[in-house]
Amino acid sequence: MNNVEERIYLTTTPVKKLLLKFSIPCIIAMLVSALYNIVDQIFIGNSNAGVAGIMATTLVFPFTVISLALAQLIGDGCATLFSISLGKKDEETSNKSVANAIITVIILSLLLVLIGFIFKMPILNLLGINGYNEKCQKFTMIYYTIILCGVPFYMFSSAMSSVIRASGRPLYSMLSTIVGAIINLILDPIFIYGFNMGVKGAAFATIIGQIASAIFCCLYFRNPNLIKLTLKSFKIDYNVLRKTIKLGISSFITQISIAIITVVANNVVGIIGSNHATDAGGALGIVFKIFAIVLAFSLGVAVGGQPIIGFNYGAKKYKRVLETYKYILISNIVIGLIAMFMFEVVPSSIVDLFGGQANDIVFYRNYAILSFRIYLGGILLCCIQKASCIFLQSIDRPYKAMLLSLMRDVILLVPGVCILGLYGDLYKMLYAGLVADIGSFIVTLILVSMECRKIRKLVNEDNKEIINKLNNQKYVISIGREFGSGGKYIGECLAKRLNIKCYDNEILAKTASKYNIDINTLKAADEKEKNSFWYGFATNYYFSDKGGANPISKIDALFLKQAKVIEDIANKENCIIIGRCSDFILKNNNLIKIFIYSSDINFKVNRKKEFENISLKEALKKIEKTDKERANYYKHFTSQEWGDKENYDISIDSSVLGVERTIDILEKYINSRIENS
């Protein structure tokens, strides 16, 4: 798909259809990514390592999240800049953003590994290892060391999956993640149980999966979609890098906030948990991982919508921006309600899935259940808040997105956990999550409402000038069109932009009503050649009981009545008339005559196949038949050639320019005609 086709696709395809195409692979990819650690925990929890092993992965989890945060800082920032640049038709910036992202994420990952090994013990102490028993500390050291080796591969695949998705290949992006997850899932039981490697086996299975995902992403760049990488592209452009970081900062904060709150919670539990520290920490580890699954669905929908919002925002299609956000919001409300039901009604079933050989199984199980019910009690509000962060990021509002990301996990949750934990107890600490969700949701409402009002204002003002001119001057626009060229859709879009009505099948309804003719009779004869079976059937059916009609009147009477209706409409209001020889009928009116065609038969076939869900053979046959009928119909009633450029003010090839660009040009042409009249 080239840039023109991508522009048509992202700015004209129904938003629901686009969101499904982009979000489902994204949800699956993020869900699979979240399952990496959860699969490890399930296998480890049901092995001899038990809760101590679960707690070890929980202690290392923040470091993994930090590497993901850096990857998404570059990957999501690049994806947003790439989408907006393509929408603005700035291909140079879009290509540079990808090349610079590749270099930057590789450098950052290698630096993180170096820091991770040099400062191993200070990092583990910061993660809270000292607050837990000896068995847990031993497992943590092993798991951390091995996982650190896979960081470059994990960061590269995480960053590039966002870029691949933004380039219009959400399915490939999903597969890059799934490949690694499947390998991890297969190797986990083999290494943990078969080779009796325990925690070490889980870590090796994870990094082998990460390597596979990274290789899969590399293979994409052999023939990337919408991306043209040259040696020049790989030269570091600090302006592009600055924009990338600016647009990715919200994603970075979202992830780094998870790391911060996990570290804080692990340390607080280690301090106040006493003999229950490992059990309470293990219980919270389960809660954090299940929370990540819910976020995979929530953020999956929002991140899937990011290319749609970013591209349309860059292309100034503000109405589609709002429509996309509306569906993202509805999806997140549904996700939040389902999660809330599970956490409040059946949390015990989730806890039992992880097994675990706890020191005090009763305390461990009860604390995990309470954590789901209280700490994640505001999950519905959290889903809305997280999705709204992505929305603000997608419309180039990085600082507001950053504030929203900080609000829940850093500004509200971290102090809440510290205060309620250190000055309360393990149970009071759980209420910090609910308070943070309520507070951040209020801020979300304020920030998002402000931006939506601004966008609505842009929608309302978009065509204000031309609408005012049309209100002051009388114009009628006639659109002739080849079948499959998008002529009807173009006419409808132009009518919306010009704030006038578009008449197509409505003409048949008005004719049927005015002259008391069966609407099916008019439909059967509509723009059909005079010698066709259906035209003859329709006219003969209508006149069979009228008596005295000669053959000429039978053929022409319906056309004359329809022509009268077209004239009545044109005399009453500014409007667009689709086909039906309206350019000939209204030749004495102040008329703009347009003909839309397509020189590329594949363009017409693909449109018919997509919108009418028919086969290639059916589409070709229907196009040929319909165009022939329209040509004969036009020639019979006008004695002129259908599509002849001499009969129109402007003829335009929608397959060369694309439907959306055709609309833009015709709008400018109409505006110019009005100004010069």
Helix (H) / strand (E) element for 584: namely: helix 582-585
Between 58 and 419, whose confidence is greater?
419
pLDDT of residue 594: 93
Give CA–CA dist 1/13, Å, rounded.
14
Taking phi over 0 as left and psi of -120 to 50 as alpha, with beta for the rest, 198 belongs to left
Q: Within 13 A of 32's CA, how many CA atoms are on the CB side?
A: 25
First-to-final CA distance of the chain: 40
The mean pLDDT value for 590-616 works out to: 84
pLDDT digits (tens, 9 = 90+) for 98-127: 889 899 999 999 999 999 999 988 888 887
Residue 636 CA from chain centroid, whole number? 49
Runs of H (alpha helix) within 130-276: 134-149, 151-166, 170-189, 199-220, 238-272
Of the two residues 289 and 441, the one the predictor is more confident about is: 441
Q: Which of 527-532's residues contact partners 24+ apart within 8 Å by CB, and which partners?
A: 527/579, 527/580, 527/629, 527/630, 527/633, 528/629, 528/633, 529/628, 529/629, 529/631, 529/632, 529/633, 529/636, 530/555, 530/632, 530/633, 530/636, 531/632, 532/629, 532/632
Over the stretch 562-578, which tens digit does the pLDDT of each residue have? 888 998 998 888 889 99
How high is the pLDDT of residue 331? 93
> pLDDT tens digits, residue range 292-315?
888 888 888 888 888 788 888 877
**DSSP-assigned states of every residue in 595-658:** EEE-S-HHHHHHHHHHHH---HHHHHHHHHHHHHHHHHHHHHHHSS-TT-GGG-SEEEEHHHH-
Is the pLDDT assigned to residue 223 strictly greater than 60? Answer: yes
- Using CA of residue 43, residue 44, residue 50, residue 55, what is the dihedral sign? negative
Q: Looking at the predicted structure, is the pLDDT value of residue 528 above 70?
A: no
How is residue 577 annotated by DSSP? E
Structure tokens, 153 = 């591969």
Joined together, the tokens standing for residue 450 give 């402000």
Contacts of 136-141 spanning 24+ positions with Cβ under 8 A: 136/52, 136/55, 136/56, 136/59, 136/278, 139/49, 139/52, 139/53, 139/55, 139/56, 139/198, 139/199, 140/55, 140/56, 140/59, 140/60
Which phi and psi angles does 461 have, rounded to 5°?
A: -90, -10
**CA-atom Rg of the chain in angstroms:** 31
Cα–Cα dist 38/40, whole Å:
5
CB count within 10 Å of CB 257 equals 21
Contacts (Cβ under 8 Å, ≥6 apart) of 423: none
pLDDT band at 446 (very low <50, low <70, confident <90, very high): very high
**Whole-number percent of the chain with pLDDT over 70:** 86
Query: Which residue type sits at 459?
Result: V
Under DSSP, is residue 503 helix (H, G, I), strand (E, B) or coil? strand
Distance, CA of 536 to CA of 548 (rounded, Å):
17
The values of phi and psi at residue 597, to 5°, are -135, 175
Report for 9-13, 117-121, 356-360, 455-459: range of highest mean pLDDT: 117-121
Cβ count within 10 A of residue 70: 24
Q: What's the pLDDT at 534?
A: 41
Cα–chain center distance at 490: 24
Q: List the domains of the chain with CATH numbers.
A: 23-461 (no CATH), 464-675 (3.40.50.300)
Identify the residue whose tokens are 């953003």: 97
- Please tell me which residue, 246 or 7, carries the higher pLDDT value: 246
State yes or no: pLDDT of 290 exceeds 80. yes
pTM of the model: 0.57
* Across 339-361, average pLDDT: 76
DSSP three-state, residue 423: coil
Q: Are 317 and 9 in contact (CB under 8 A)?
A: no
Which residues does 222 contact at the CB level (< 8 Å), separation at least 6? none
Q: Cα(482)–Cα(626) distance, rounded to whole angstroms?
A: 8
CA separation for the pair 44, 53 (Å, rounded): 6
User: CB-based contacts of 607: which residues, under 8 Å, 6+ apart?
Assistant: 484, 486
pLDDT of res. 537: 44
Tell me how long the chain is. 677
500-524 residue pLDDT tens? 899 988 888 888 888 888 788 777 7
Look at residue 575 and give its three-state secondary structure: strand
User: What pLDDT, on a 0 to 100 scale, did the predictor assign at position 328?
Assistant: 93
pLDDT in tens, 155-169: 999 889 888 887 878
Enter the tokens of residue 660: 């959306």
Would you tell me the crossing angle of helices 91-118 and 238-272 to the nearest 10 degrees? 40
